Amino acid sequence: MSDTSKITWHSWAMVAILGLTWGGTFLVTEIALEGITPFWLAAGRISFAALLMTAIWLPRGAKLFAAPPNREAKTLLLISGALSSAIPFMLLAWGQQFVTGGFAGVSMAAVALMVLPMAHFLVPNEQMTWRKSAGFLIGFIGVVVLIGAQAFESSGSNMETWGRFACLAATMCYGVNSILMRRLPDVDTIGLSTVMILMAMLITVPAALLIEGLPPMPETKTLLVIAFLGLIPTAAANFLRTYVIRTAGPVFMSITNYQVPIWSVVLGALLLGEPLPASLLWAMVLILAGVGLSQYGALRRLFRR
C-alpha cells in the first residue's frame, strides 16, 4: 500500500499551482523565442534561477545534507542534478524541432506512467495497485483525447524518429529524477533545489555555447521574459516540485503532468483567443476521474480529517 499520510491540502494546492505554472510556460516561451535561440533560452532561464536560488540559500548557511553524505548519496545527487532540468531541457529543445507539438505533449504526460512502475520497485510505500494503475491510464487517455489526432500524426521530418526518441528520453529523465530525489537521505529542500539548478546551469551554458555559439544580445522585452521564466516556472516551480516529491512522493507529483495540457489549452483560449476544442470537457472528465481513482486513498484520508 502507498503511504498517503503526508499528502495534505498543501500538497494538492502545490501540484495545482505547478500545473497552472507549467501550462502557461508554453505561451511565455513562444514570446521569448522571438528574440533568442532555444538553447540560450534554456541556459538563460536556468542561470537566472540559479543566481536567485543561490542568493536565498547562502544566507541560510548553505545547508544541504542533515548528516555527512556517503558515496551513494553523493552519486544520487549528481545524477539527479543532471536529470532534473539540464538534460531534459536540451533533449526537448532539440527534439521539438522534428516532432509535432501534440507528440511532445503526450510524451510529457507519459511521465506519470513511467514513474508508477519505477516507484513500485525503487521507492518504499509506493507500490502499484490496480486502482492506481487504472487511474493513471485513464488520465493518460484523457490527455490523448484533449490533444487529438495530432498526438500521433507525423511531422514529415526525416529526423522525426530521432526527435521522438529525444522527447521520450526527456520524459524518462524526469521520471528517474523524481525517483532519485525521493531516495536521497534527509536533505534541506532549498539546498537541494539550489544545487540541482546550479548543476543544470553548469551543463546548459557550455552546451549552448557549443551548439549555438555566443548568445545574441536580446532586447529588453526578451530579457524581461527570460527573467520571468527563470523566476516563476524555473526557480519557484523547481522548489515546489522538490518539496512535493520529498514529502508526498514521486507518484503523487506525476499527476501534475496531466494538468499541464489542460491549463495550456485554457490559458491559450483566455489570453490568446484560441478556440477551445470540443474534446476539452471529455478530457477533463477522464483526467479528473483518473486522478481521483489513482489518489483515492489520499483523498479519503484528506476528507476524513
Tens of pLDDT, residues 141-182: 988 888 777 777 777 888 888 988 988 898 899 899 999 888
Burial class (CB in 10 A: 0-12, 13-18, 19+), 115: buried
Taking alpha carbons only, the member of 19, 37, 67 closest to residue 288 is 19
From CA 182, how far away is CA 156, in angstroms rounded?
40
Taking alpha carbons only, the member of 46, 169, 25 closest to residue 111 is 169
The per-residue pLDDT for 1 is 40
The per-residue pLDDT for 298 is 67
The confidence band for 2, taking pLDDT boundaries of 50, 70 and 90, is very low
From CA 277, how far away is CA 285, in angstroms rounded?
14
Mean pLDDT of 181-188: 88
Mean pLDDT of 244-271: 86
Q: Flag whether 185 is in a domain.
A: yes
C-alpha 126, offset from chain centre: 20
Mean pLDDT of 194-222: 90
Burial 160-192 (b: 16+ CB within 10 A, else e): beebbebbbebbbbbbbbbbbbbebeebbebbb
Q: Is residue 274 over pLDDT 60? A: yes
The confidence band for 52, taking pLDDT boundaries of 50, 70 and 90, is very high
The per-residue pLDDT for 14 is 93
The per-residue pLDDT for 128 is 83
Q: Flag whether 1 is in a domain.
A: no
The backbone torsions φ and ψ at residue 266, rounded to the nearest 5 degrees and listed phi first, read -65, -45
- Among 126-140, 144-158, 291-305, which is the least confidently predicted range? 291-305
Mean pLDDT of 81-99: 83
Taking alpha carbons only, the member of 206, 227, 230 closest to residue 82 is 206
Q: Flag whether 3 is in a domain.
A: no
- CA triple 255-15-91, angle to 5 deg: 65
Give me the number of domains the chain comprises.
1
- Among 17-26, 149-158, 207-216, which is the least confidently predicted range? 149-158
Q: Flag whether 258 is in a domain.
A: yes
The confidence band for 103, taking pLDDT boundaries of 50, 70 and 90, is confident
From CA 187, how far away is CA 246, in angstroms rounded?
9
Tell which wins on pLDDT, 184 or 152: 184
Q: Facing residues of 65 across strands?
A: 187
Widest CA span in the chain: 57
- Among 38-47, 56-65, 81-90, 169-178, which is the least confidently predicted range? 81-90
Contact 237, 245 (CB under 8 A): no
The backbone torsions φ and ψ at residue 33, rounded to the nearest 5 degrees and listed phi first, read -70, -10
Mean pLDDT of 215-221: 86
Does residue 187 sit in helix, strand or coil?
strand
The per-residue pLDDT for 278 is 80
Going by the DSSP 8-state scheme, the letter that residue 219 receives in this structure is: -
Taking alpha carbons only, the member of 300, 31, 283 closest to residue 139 is 283
Q: Which grid coordinates belong to 44?
A: 538563460
Q: At what angle do helices 87-95 and 160-183 cross, to 10 degrees?
A: 160
Going by the DSSP 8-state scheme, the letter that residue 60 receives in this structure is: G
The backbone torsions φ and ψ at residue 187, rounded to the nearest 5 degrees and listed phi first, read -145, 150
Q: Flag whether 4 is in a domain.
A: no
Tell which wins on pLDDT, 124 or 161: 161
Q: Flag whether 231 is in a domain.
A: yes
Q: Facing residues of 187 across strands?
A: 65
Residue 56 domain boundaries: 9-304
Q: Is residue 238 over pLDDT 50? A: yes
Q: Is residue 272 over pLDDT 50? A: yes
Residues belonging to the chain:
305
From CA 108, how far away is CA 87, in angstroms rounded?
14
Contact 276, 139 (CB under 8 A): no
The per-residue pLDDT for 206 is 94
